[in-house]
Homo-oligomer: A and B are copies of this chain.
Amino acid sequence: MSGEERRCQILQTAISLFAEKGFSGTTTKEIAQRAGVSEAMVFRHFARKSDIYDAILDNRAAHEGMRFPWENDERILRAIREKDDFTLFYTLALIALNKQQADVSFIRLLFYSALEEHELAARFFNGFVMRMYSFIGEYIKERQRDGAYRQLDPKVAVRAFMGMIIHHSINVILWDKGGKILDLSNEEAAKNFTEILLKGIMA
């Protein structure tokens, strides 16, 4: 295997372990074992263990989780043009829920990084999250000008909406794994949260 390939493979292995057990809960030995190489190989590519964590910042795959999958999504662009509120928020919610639950590993990594105060969390927040607030916030402002929504801080509406969605995913992933309290398809969840939000902010 070439240097670049090996480096990448070790990094992927480490990311998945950091997501499972956090940075300090993961040993270089485990990383090496799961990657199927010797520990010396790990240190050949990353001088210190913390360099592996830092390398996540430049990793393409990790940034996958920070992509805006809807910026070129035809359903969404059309819903915005047509001011089809339900379709817009429903589609946003459904895409988010599916994405979050398909990438449990990324969500866990993100929460660990927030608790451990690693730059990854800050970068996610300053990139993805802020962009999200302005994207949805702008639409809400426009609809307020139309008189369709009542006057409230658009950012509060975004927080409420994202709160329902993310909190639901966190429950599915972290707290209520078996669906003990609430077992709901993502379609049902998206529909219900969208209805609550829209009725909640309409004029």
Contact = CB atoms under 8 A, between A and B. Distances in A.
A74 interface: no
A96 interface: no
Contacts of A116: 21-22, 25
A171 to B, nearest CB: 7
A174 B111 CA distance: 9
A175 interface: yes
> How many of these chains are in the complex?
2
Nearest to A184: B156
A200 B150 CA distance: 13
B24 A152 contact: no
Interface string A174-203: 111000111010001100110111111110
B22 A152 contact: no
Interface size class of A (residues with CB under 8 A): 35 or more
Contacts of A102: none
Contacts of A165: 163
Nearest to A25: B24
A194 B14 CA distance: 42
A75 interface: no
Contacts of A164: 159-160, 163-164, 167
A192 B130 CA distance: 20
5 shortest interchain CB distances as A-B pairs: A163-B167, A196-B200, A200-B200, A24-B25, A163-B164
Interface of A: 21-25, 108, 111-112, 114-116, 121, 125, 129-130, 133, 152-153, 155-157, 159-160, 162-168, 171, 174-176, 180-182, 184, 188-189, 192-193, 195-202
